[in-house]
Amino acid sequence: MNIIVMSNRLGKTVSLDTRQVVCLGLIAALVVASIGFAIASSLKQAPALWHLIPNANNARQTEIDALAIRVGELQAKLLRLDGLASQVGNKTGIDIKPFLSSQPVPRGGLQHGGTALSTETLANEIDAASHNLNARLDQLSLAESVLLRPKAWQLPSKAPLNVGLQSSSFGKRIDPFNGSQVFHEGIDFVGDSGTPIMAAASGKVSFAAFHPQYGNMVDLDHGNGITSRYAHASKLVVKTGDQVDAGQTIALLGSTGRSTGPHLHFEIRYKGIAQNPLRFIGPATNEMNIAATKSDD
């Protein structure tokens, strides 16, 4: 049996015998079978793929639940911070109300038997917790500054002399004895011998004796790492261990030790480091003519 196939594209006929027709039929059958097998395999695997969708959702929900637990822990810490802030506020006299939210702090995370938090709800919870935490931190920072800040009466803000002229400032200067450049760790006030030297703030006398370079010298400890020094006095009127008040006479001006004439060498130190006294003391009298600023209370 011959089959004649007409081809318009080639412009000729193609004659196929029985064997060729059978071969083509087998090839077509194999192609159809392969396609069918592929479709069947895909359909067979579909249920296995479908179960991955719930698994992905479960994994996402697990992450959300874990975040919700963290939010609950954060909220619990906020509650403890509230209690601590209230205690600190009571001790420092700070009104904590402006720093606390008017709304109660949300409690906990998920509840057994409840509805899982959505991502939107969880985001709102995190924002609220962050806002409340920042408020508590602001309040505690303010309280900390009050607790750690020296009391106003402890700051050495009173001028050590009622009258006098500043002769040397804080910083680099030429040494009057050898002409070399040195760092002057205080300020000098010129005055008459015997002029009362007063404590710049209340404190305890930590040193009151003769020093080879500073002459008769008094050191006062004002607490919080702040000390003041009064040097070259002609006479000391306090002794080590005495408690003195701000403005109390502690020595008389003189020219003892390494000095070229009657004056007061005045220092203020914080944790052992010399500070510019003009940052602490205010203007005393017109005669002193010191442009100074008071420290922040």
pLDDT in tens, 189-241: 999 999 999 999 999 999 999 999 999 999 999 988 899 999 999 999 999 99
pLDDT class of 116 with cuts at 50, 70, 90 = low
Structural contact between residues 155 and 296, judged by C-beta atoms closer than 8 angstroms? no
**Hey, what are 69's tokens?**
């637990």
Structural contact between residues 238 and 250, judged by C-beta atoms closer than 8 angstroms? yes
The pTM of the full predicted model, rounded to 2 decimals, is: 0.47
Give the separation between CA 184 and CA 174, rounded to whole angstroms.
9
Cβ-based neighbour number of residue 282 at 10 Å:
13
The domain limits of the chain are 3-50, 52-148, 154-279
Residue 181's beta-bridge partner residues? Answer: 174
Q: Nearest 10 degrees: CA dihedral of 234, 238, 241, 242?
A: -150
pLDDT class of 285 with cuts at 50, 70, 90 = very low
Does the pLDDT value for residue 165 go beyond 50?
A: yes
Q: Give the amino acid at 161.
A: L
pLDDT class of 43 with cuts at 50, 70, 90 = very low
Cα–Cα distances (Å) from 20 to 2, 23, 28, 32, 79, in that order, read 10, 5, 12, 18, 88
Percentage of the chain lying above the pLDDT 70 cut:
54
Q: For residues 29 and 175, which has the higher predicted lDDT (pLDDT)?
A: 175
pLDDT digits (tens, 9 = 90+) for 92-114: 565 655 555 444 444 444 444 55
Q: What is the 3-state secondary structure (H, E, C) of 115-144?
A: CCCCHHHHHHHHHHHHHHHHHHHHHHHHHH
**Hey, what are 246's tokens?**
């701000």
CATH number, span 154-279: 2.70.70.10
**Hey, what are 7's tokens?**
């081809």
pLDDT digits (tens, 9 = 90+) for 237-273: 999 999 999 999 999 999 999 988 899 999 999 889 9
